Amino acid sequence: MKNLRLKAARAAKDMSQQALADAVNVSRQTVSAIEKGDYNPTIKLCIAICKALDKTLDELFWEVD
């Protein structure tokens, strides 16, 4: 499932995938894979992404039915 909230939060901060990738020390392809739902990140990476985007885990990664 695509993570549109992550994509929206990144866009709201005016960050490119590369900028977010650099901020959390991963490759751009990894950020792209998370946004497309092709890769489930570890909790460590989720927290790093949340800190980089000033969001909580719930806001970015909690799936509501």
Partner 1 sequence: MTDYLSFAVAAAVILVIVILVWRYQKKNGGAFDERQALLRGNAYKRAFFAVTIYCVLHALIVLFSEKPVMEDGVGMMMAMFVGVTVFALDCIHHDAFFTAKQTPGGYILLLAVNIVTQGVGTAAKIRNGAFLRNGVLTMACVQPACLAVFTVILIALLVRRYGGSRAEAEE
Name the residues that contact partner 1, by CB under 8 A. Answer: 7, 16-18, 21-22, 25-30, 32-33, 35, 39, 41-42, 44-45
Q: How far is the CB of 54 from partner 1 (least distance, A)?
A: 21
Nearest residue (CB) to partner 1, 18 versus 56: 18
Q: Measured between alpha carbons, how far is 36 from 30 in angstroms, rounded to an integer?
A: 10
Q: Measured between alpha carbons, how far is 16 from 38 in angstroms, rounded to an integer?
A: 19
Q: How far is the CB of 63 from partner 1 (least distance, A)?
A: 20
Bin 19: left if φ > 0, else alpha if -120 < ψ < 50, else beta: alpha
